[in-house]
C-alpha cells in the first residue's frame, strides 16, 4: 500500500473542506471559469498567473494574483491547476514545497493521449506526488465540489445548501451533469469529485473518504476502470454495508478478448465481472445517468421496502395496461388485492369508465369525479392497508386541475398525495409522463419532489428505480432510510 493510501481519509479531509484555494493558470480564453466558479467560496481565493495579459481580468474579479504559488502568504489547502501539461511537474514541485492539502489537475494531455510525451509527463508527476505523499487528483479532471462552502467546478452548480449525496466520477462531465440534473430531482450533494486519470488518488480513496463522511448518506460512482481491483472490492464491500453505493461502470460493453482454455475463462469477461463485484458487495448497479438519478431519488424519498408486489394506480384504461406491462417487465409483481380491499373499493368506485382489479383505472372515480380528491385518498389508503401490496405507484397527469394552479393557493391533489406520502409505510412513487407537455410535466415533478415525493418522468424509469430500491433493501434489510436533505 502506498504512503498515500494509509491515511487517505484523514488527509483528504483538508482538501475536501479547504479554507483557502489557489487557482493556477486561469485565463480569459476559458472565461476565467475556475475563479468565477469560486465566487461564492467561503474561504480565501488566490490566483497564480504569470502572463501579464491575464492580470487585468483576474483583478476585475477582485482576486489577488501571485506570480508563484510559493509567494502566497498563508497556507493553501487546495490547488486547481489549469496549466499546459509541460508545466505540470513544476506546479507539483511547488505544491509539495508549499505543503498544500491537495492539487487537482484540470490539465490534460497525459497518458490518455497515448503519446510518448503524455505518458512520460504523467509518470513524472505521479512519481513526484507519490514520493512526497501529495494528494494529487487527476490529471484530466475537474476535481472537487463542496456546495456547502461554495467550492465548485462550474458556475452553473448550486451552492450554500448541502445534501446527503456524494458523487465520485472518473469523468468531469459526468460529475458536472450529475450535479446539474440532480438539482431538478431533489438530489443535493454533500461532496463530489471527478478524478480523471487517477494516477495517485483512485476511486477507492474517495470511496473510503465519503464512506466515513458523516454528511454523506448515499454514494454514486461513475467508473471507467480501477487500478487495484482487490482494494476496490474490499473498500466497496465495507462501505456498501453501511450506506447505499450506486455504480455506473463506463465501457461495460467493451469486448474482453482474452485467450482462455476453460469454459469459465471464456465466459468471465470484464463486464460480467463488474456486475458480479457490484452484486456481491451489495452495491447497486446502474447503467446511465438517468438511472443513477432515479435510483438515488427513490432511495432518498421513497420508504424502504423488501417486497416486490406493486399496487398500480393510473389515470386511464390505456395507461393502466401500459404501466402494468412495464412494471411486470421490470420484474415486479402486480397481484390481485384482498377481498376486503375489493369490498371497500366497490362501495364508491365508479366502474363506468374505470376498473379496480389492480391496476386501478381511476379516470371516472378521480379525474372526472366531483369528490375526486377524497376518492384518491381512499384508494391510496386501501392499497396502503392491503397485505397483498408492498409498494404503490401512482400516475398523475400534469394537467390535472388544480395541481398546477397558482402556487399561492393550496393545491388539493398535491396536498393529498403529499399527506399520503407521509403516512404510508410502503415505498410510494409517482409518475408524471412527458406525453402532454415536457415543461408542465417537469414542473409538476419538481413540485412533487420538493414535497418529498419520489416522482419520475415515465413508467420505465419509475419501475426500474423501484425494482432497484426493493433489491437493495432485500440485500440490506437492516439499513434504514437516509433522510432527504
**Binding interface with other proteins (CB under 8 A):** 225-226, 229-230, 232-233, 260-265, 267-268, 270, 272-273, 276-277, 279-280
Alpha-carbon 132 to chain mean position: 33
307 vs 353 by CB, closer to other proteins = 307
Give φ, ψ of 245 to 5 degrees. -125, 125
272 vs 399 by CB, closer to other proteins = 272
Q: Report the nearest approach of other proteins to the CB of residue 468 (Å).
A: 16
Q: Could you tell me which of 92, 104, 135, 87 has the C-alpha nearest to residue 23? A: 104
Q: Report the nearest approach of other proteins to the CB of residue 266 (Å).
A: 8
Q: Report the nearest approach of other proteins to the CB of residue 5 (Å).
A: 17
Residue ranges of the alpha helices (H) in 302-450?
317-329, 339-346, 372-385, 412-423, 438-450
Nine-digit cell string for 164: 446527503
| DSSP per-residue string spanning 71-120 | G-SS--SEEEE---GGGHHHHHHHHHHHT-S-EEE----SGGGT-HHHHH
Q: Report the nearest approach of other proteins to the CB of residue 197 (Å).
A: 17
Q: State how far the alpha carbon of 158 is from the alpha carbons of 38, 161, 289, 339, 448, in Å.
A: 12, 8, 19, 50, 20
| DSSP per-residue string spanning 203-215 | HHHHHHHHHH-TT
Q: Report the nearest approach of other proteins to the CB of residue 277 (Å).
A: 6
68 vs 276 by CB, closer to other proteins = 276
Q: Report the nearest approach of other proteins to the CB of residue 469 (Å).
A: 19
Please enumerate in sequence order all residues whose Cβ is within 8 A of that of 302, keeping only pairs 6 or more positions apart, or say none.
Answer: 391, 427, 428, 429, 454, 466, 469
Q: Report the nearest approach of other proteins to the CB of residue 273 (Å).
A: 5
Amino acid at each position: 500500500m502506498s504512503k498515500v493510501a494509509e491515511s487517505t481519509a484523514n488527509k483528504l479531509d483538508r482538501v475536501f473542506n479547504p479554507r483557502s484555494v489557489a487557482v493556477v493558470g486561469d485565463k480569459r480564453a476559458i472565461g476565467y471559469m475556475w475563479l468565477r466558479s469560486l465566487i461564492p467560496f467561503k474561504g480565501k481565493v488566490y490566483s497564480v498567473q504569470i502572463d501579464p495579459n491575464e492580470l487585468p481580468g483576474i483583478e476585475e474579479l477582485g482576486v489577488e494574483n501571485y506570480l508563484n504559488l510559493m509567494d502566497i502568504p498563508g497556507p493553501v489547502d487546495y490547488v486547481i491547476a489549469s496549466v499546459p501539461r509541460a508545466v505540470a511537474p513544476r506546479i507539483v514541485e511547488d505544491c509539495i514545497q508549499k505543503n498544500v492539502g491537495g492539487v487537482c489537475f484540470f490539465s490534460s494531455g497525459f497518458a490518455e493521449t497515448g503519446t510518448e510525451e503524455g505518458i512520460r509527463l504523467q509518470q513524472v508527476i505521479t512519481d513526484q506526488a507519490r514520493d512526497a505523499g501529495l494528494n494529487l487528483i487527476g490529471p484530466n479532471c475537474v476535481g472537487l465540489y463542496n456546495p456547502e462552502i461554495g467550492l465548485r467546478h462550474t458556475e452553473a452548480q448550486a451552492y450554500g445548501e448541502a445534501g446527503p449525496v456524494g458523487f465520485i466520477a472518473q469523468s468531469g462531465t459526468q460529475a458536472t451533469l450529475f450535479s446539474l440534473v440532480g438539482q431538478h430531482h431533489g438530489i443535493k450533494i454533500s461532496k463530489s469529485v471527478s478524478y480523471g486519470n487517477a494516477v495517485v488518488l483512485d476511486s477507492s480513496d474517495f470511496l473510503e473518504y465519503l464512506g466515513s463522511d458523516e454528511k454523506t448518506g448515499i454514494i454514486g460512482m461513475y467508473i471507467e476502470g480501477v487500478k487495484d481491483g482487490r482494494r476496490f472490492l474490499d473498500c466497496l464491500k465495507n462501505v456498501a454495508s453501511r450506506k447505499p453505493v450506486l455504480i455506473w461502470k463506463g465501457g461495460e460493453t467493451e469486448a474482453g478478448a482474452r485467450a482462455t482454455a476453460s469454459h469459465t475463462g471464456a465466459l468471465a469477461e470484464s463486464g460480467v465481472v463488474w456486475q458480479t463485484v457490484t452484486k456481491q458487495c451489495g452495491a447497486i448497479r446502474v447503467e446511465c445517468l438517468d438511472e443513477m438519478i432515479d435510483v438515488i431519488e427513490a432511495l432518498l424519498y421513497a420508504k424502504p421496502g423488501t417486497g416486490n408486489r406493486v399496487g398500480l394506480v393510473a389515470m386511464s384504461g390505456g395507461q393502466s395496461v401500459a404501466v402494468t406491462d412495464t412494471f411486470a417487465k421490470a420484474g415486479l409483481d402486480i397481484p390481485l388485492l384482498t377481498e376486503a380491499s375489493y369490498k371497500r373499493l366497490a362501495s364508491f368506485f365508479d366502474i363506468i369508465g374505470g376498473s379496480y382489479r389492480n391496476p386501478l383505472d381511476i379516470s371516472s372515480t378521480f379525474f372526472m369525479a366531483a369528490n375526486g380528491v377524497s376518492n384518491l385518498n381512499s384508494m391510496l389508503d386501501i392499497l396502503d392497508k392491503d397485505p397483498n401490496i408492498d409498494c404503490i405507484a401512482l400516475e398523475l397527469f400534469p394537467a390535472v386541475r388544480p395541481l398546477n394552479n397558482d402556487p399561492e393557493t393550496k393545491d388539493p391533489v398535491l396536498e393529498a398525495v403529499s399527506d399520503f406520502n407521509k403516512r404510508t409505510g410502503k415505498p410510494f412513487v409517482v409518475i408524471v409522463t412527458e406525453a402532454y407537455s415536457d415543461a408542465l410535466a417537469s414542473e409538476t415533478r419538481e413540485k412533487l419532489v420538493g414535497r418529498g415525493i419520489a416522482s419520475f418522468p415515465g413508467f420505465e424509469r419509475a419501475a426500474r428505480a423501484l425494482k432497484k430500491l426493493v433489491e437493495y433493501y432485500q440485500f440490506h434489510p437492516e439499513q434504514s432510510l437516509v433522510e432527504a436533505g
